[in-house]
Structure 1
Amino acid sequence: MSIYVGNLSYDVAEADLSSVFAEYGSVKRVQLPTDRETGRPRGFGFVEMGTDAEEAAAIEALDGAEWMGRDLKVNKAKPREDRGSSFGGGGGGRRNNSFSRN
């Protein structure tokens, strides 16, 4: 399981985030998603810690804490929802859009 970290500064680097979370245990992985078009960080990230106890300690200590001028939002990451493919299904298509006029 991983930790969601929101409201991050756009200037944050993975090494910065790793060092903050390392105070609460071993950091296995840090991810900072970037915008596809600009390559800039999107303002949130994910951190994986070595144990559940380390994750809990980091969440407890860092949720709401101010870092780099921002109040962090830190909690257990929720599993990614399967949104299906971006083609077909989900409405917006042109099927059965005819109207009958009497």
Structure 2
Amino acid sequence: MSKNLYVGNLAWSTTEDEVRSAFEAYGEVTSVKLIEDRETGRPRGFGFVEMSDDSAARDAIEALDGKDLGGRNLKVNEAKPRVERPRW
């Protein structure tokens, strides 16, 4: 069963490829999505990594949470399900 991880505190210059290669050291990465601001298209400093298996995801969280990537200490944990918010 795949596991979705939240990755925060990313440098704005960090690419999806850089994030993918950091996580691939711990197992198969099925997707990487860095979030951009809807208005400006600029990176928001966080994203999501989907890994193919739970134990690889746990290993990645343990190894990468607090580690430096692009001069910033990553925040990595299990992603919480998205809560739908009303649009104003």
Q: In which range does the TM-score fall when normalised by the shorter chain?
A: over 0.9
Please state whether the residue corresponding to 2:42 is helix, strand or coil. Answer: coil
Structure 2 gaps, min length 5: none
State the match for 2:13 in structure 1: 11
Q: C-alpha displacement at 1:36, in angstroms?
A: 1.3
| Mapping 1:16-55, distance limit 5 Å | 16-55=18-57
Q: Do structure 1's residue 71 and structure 2's residue 73 form an aligned pair?
A: yes
2:30 aligns to what SS in structure 1? strand
More strand by share: 2
TM-score by length of 1: 0.80
Listed as ranges, the gaps of 5+ residues in structure 1 are: 88-102
Q: Which has the higher contact order (CA 8 A, sep 6+)?
A: 2
* Offset at residue 40 of structure 1 (A): 1.1
- SS state at 1:8 partner: coil
Q: Does 1:86 align with 2:87?
A: yes
Deviation of residue 82 (structure 1)?
2.1
C-alpha distance in structure 2 between counterparts of 1:19 and 1:77, whole Å: 19
Q: Which has the larger radius of gyration?
A: 1
- Tell me the TM-score normalised to structure 2 length: 0.92
When the two chains are superposed, the root-mean-square deviation of aligned CA atoms in Å is: 0.9
- % identical equivalent positions: 55
